[in-house]
Structure formats: C-alpha cells, structure tokens
Amino acid sequence: MWSGYAGQETFFNLSEGVPVQLSQLCTSGNGTVSENPGTNEAEGDGEAGGVGDVTKQLEQQALEDKEREEDGEEDGDEGENSAGKKKKKKKKKKGLKGQTDPPSVPICELYPSGDFPKGEECEYPPSKDGRSAAWRTTSEEKRALDRANEEMWSDFRQAAEAHRQVRAYVKSWIKPGMTMIDICERLEDCSRKLIREDGLKAGLAFPTGCSINHCAAHYTPNAGDPTVLRYDDICKIDFGTHINGRIIDCAFTVTFNPKFDRLLEAVRDATNTGIKFAGIDVRLCDVGETIQEVMESYEVEIDGKTYQVKPIRNLNGHSIGQYRIHSGKTVPIVKGGEATRMEEGEAYAIETFGSTGRGAVHDDMECSHYMKNFNVGHVPIRLPRAKHLLNVINENFGTLAFCRRWLDRLGESKYLMALKNLCDLGIIDPYPPLCDIKGSYTAQYEHTILLRPTYKEVVSRGDDY
C-alpha cells in the first residue's frame, strides 16, 4: 500500500518504511504501481505519463481516506495520522419516519409532532347578495375560534391521512377475480394499522361498503359470501376512519372497463359541485338543486344504449357528529328538501350517487350493516344472550356502525337470534343493502368537509379525487 500527502515529492513504502522518490515510481503495463529504482527507461514522455498516473492515483486515494475518516470508518491503527485520534461516529439525520410498502406505520408515528396534513382549504362561496366571504380568512376573531378547535381539526386530519394512504394502497392491488371478503379484510387490516386501532379512541368508523352494479350502498359481505369482483362490475368502495369519534366518511368508485368512465365523471363532477356550493349559512336544498343540475347534464353510453345520469333521490349527504355518522341534517342531491342552513363548526359528508336505473333505491339482499340507536334509552332485555351481545357492541363499537364479520372477528358465534332481538327492541337498527333496479349501474363519490370559522376544508381530499 502506498500513502502520502498531495504536493510532496517523497512517499513512503509503508511495508518497509523506506522513502521513495517520485521519479522512482512508474506504472506497469497493467496500470498497477511498481517501484523501479536504478533504471532510466521511464524517461521523456514515458516518465511524464507514469508520474501523472501515479499522482492521480495517490490523490484519489487521499480523497477516499478523507471521506472514510469523515464517515467514521477510518481504521485508526496505521501510520502517523492515526496516532491519538478517536474514531469519528457518523451522524444520523433526523427526519420523518417513512411509510412502508405495504403501509403499516401508524399515521401518528409518521407525524410525531401531531401536525397532520391539511385537506383542501377553500374560501366560502359568496352570499346571495354577492358579498364575498374572504373576510373570514383575515378576521382575528375567526382565527381565534379556529385555533380554539385545533384539537378537533387535528383528529379529523389524522383520520383523513389514514384514509388517503389506505385507499391508495387498495387501488394498487384491487383487481377482477378477487373475492369481496378478501378485498374488505385486506383494506380493513391496513386501516386498523394506520389509524392505530385503540378501542373507541381510534379505529374504523363503519364497515367497508363494496356495493356492486345496481346495489348502491350498505353492502359488505357476511362470512361465507362467495361474491367475486368481475371485469364488468362497477364497485363503490365506501369506508371510514375515526380518531376520538371524529369521523372521515369518504368513498370512490372502482371500475376496470372504460365504458363506465363517463358515469364516474358525472358523479365526481356532481360531488365536487356540491362541495363548491356548500358553506356556512347555505341552505341544504340549494346544494341539492345544484347537484341535480350537474348530474343530469350528463349522458352516458353503455353497451350501445344511451342513458341520462339520474341522481338517486332517496340517498343523501349528511352532517357528521362525534361518534355519530348521521347527526341530524340531510344534504339532498335533488332539488327540494330542507331549507335548513349549514352552520359554522359543523362537519358534513357530501356524497352523490348517479344511476342508469330509476334513480331510487330500496332494501334488498341479506343485511350486514347494523348500528346502535344513538338516542335509545334504557330498554329491559330478557334474553341473556342479547344482554351479552349488547355489552360486546357497547364495548367495541358504541354508537358506531358495525357488521357481522366484525362480530365474528371478536369471537362471537350463534348471535343471530340475539341480534334480531336487539333489533326488534329498537336498540340496534339494521341497514340492509340499498339497490336500484337490476341491470342498472350506480356510482358514488364522497368527501368529508369541515366548516371552519376561516375556511371550508375538504379534509379528505387527495391527489386521486
């Protein structure tokens, strides 16, 4: 090994400790350095070339030695340079923890500071008389009110970021040929990890809806359901996450056949229109009218037949309360309906459904979704099995929706009679699948919005929709 300092003419053969003049070094034919004292063959051009090559090699080696020393990789046991020097440790950069593939790192660990990504912030629409709402963004009073509720907004944002990452993951692998049970369980497993499920403090807000074709909502497979997703299916993926009962209700539609693209465009446009017109002091019926106008402006051609896209008139958006997915106010998707106004501080699910059928849904198929009645008081229960089941529901779901698969997951069995008894008593409400006429196709898009004092925040907005 040859070592030395750049700019010196004398180098040392470390194996023997003998000084060697630069003129005594040359390169052999294979490019290696050799010692050649006592010969004059390396004169003229040959000498110049040999010395130049050796100099470059020594300079390169010096640079490499310096880099190793900076990285803390110097051995420190050879030559004068190592005497009395301590080994340097490489400093690790501190930064945000990265997400894995597939996602498994909880959102709270990705953002340890608690500063979760905001959704899309929009100015409120101008009032009927044309007055702008831009003053809200600069008003110190409204800013103070906004800051006062920062903990609540942060819970929504954490749940929304989990939703964004889960749906991106689902879109990467969902394909024809998969069973609906497999799709739902993979989605829910990922969602539980990212939200860091913790009893009623954090978890899934309601069962994963994966309604297909003419079925518009509230379908999730029960145990043993053999349904398989096909290439010509149109599937609505509707799932929710929550932190401390602050629910993100957000949905999108999955298709593989491009013949449905125009239908998806119509419903996505209608949902975005509803979001645009929603705001503080806006009448709910006015939002519904604008949604219907946009939805019905679309025509789609599917399998050689042309349809006008119809909004499903008996499906609506809704206000969202803490641990309460439907908290009292309804956002219609057709004209008419309530003249009630949206209010500051509220959260809403703006969702629209478009159909090639009648534009109305009815209960059909086997029920899978259930939810405890939010307003139910004390009701005497005679059946011991029903009492036990209610305790399980209260402990694990509270007033959040659940499905039979989730009861199976908790180890419950032979509970159907007890569940029916709780439904008959009005303690639990069943929510069967909602379907338009057979042979029709339905699509859905949905976002959660926050009516903050300063901005309207589309908290679940992502790069995908």
Residue 71: per-residue pLDDT: 53
Q: Is 447 annotated as a binding residue?
A: no
Q: Is 388 annotated as a binding residue?
A: no
Backbone dihedral angles phi then psi of residue 269, each to the nearest 5 degrees: -65, -40
Query: What tens digit of pLDDT does each residue of 153-174 get?
Result: 999 999 999 999 999 999 999 9
**Domain formed by 367-431, architecture:** Orthogonal Bundle (1.10)
**pLDDT band for position 21 (50/70/90)?**
very low
Q: What percent of the chain has pLDDT over 90?
A: 77
Peptide bond into 102 cis (omega under 30): yes
Query: What tens digit of pLDDT does each residue of 60-111 get?
Result: 776 666 656 555 444 444 444 444 444 444 443 344 569 999 999 999 999 9
Residue 337: per-residue pLDDT: 84
**pLDDT band for position 294 (50/70/90)?**
very high
**pLDDT band for position 58 (50/70/90)?**
low
Structural domain boundaries of the chain? 367-431
397: closest CA among 333, 316, 324? 324
Query: What tens digit of pLDDT does each residue of 98-146 get?
Result: 999 999 999 999 999 999 999 999 999 998 888 899 999 999 999 999 9
Q: Is 218 annotated as a binding residue?
A: yes
Instruction: Report which DSSP code applies to 283.
Output: B
Q: Is 378 annotated as a binding residue?
A: no
Q: Please state the pTM of the whole predicted model.
A: 0.80
Compute the average pLDDT of residues 289-314: 98
Q: What percent of the chain has pLDDT over 70?
A: 79
Residue 55: per-residue pLDDT: 59
For residue 283, pLDDT over 60 is answered with yes
Residue 338: per-residue pLDDT: 86
For every residue of 152-189, DSSP letters joined together read: HHHHHHHHHHHHHHHHHHHHHH--TT-BHHHHHHHHHH
Instruction: Report which DSSP code applies to 249.
Output: E
Residue 59: per-residue pLDDT: 67
Q: Is 446 annotated as a binding residue?
A: yes
For residue 193, pLDDT over 80 is answered with yes
**pLDDT band for position 424 (50/70/90)?**
very high
For residue 425, pLDDT over 80 is answered with yes
Residue 3: per-residue pLDDT: 37
For residue 305, pLDDT over 50 is answered with yes
Residues involved in catalysis: 238, 249, 318, 326, 351, 446
Compute CA distances 419 → 120, 133, 275, 406, 430, whole Å: 41, 49, 37, 13, 10
By the 8 A CB rule, do 451 and 279 touch? Answer: yes
Rounded to the nearest integer, the mean pLDDT of the chain is: 87
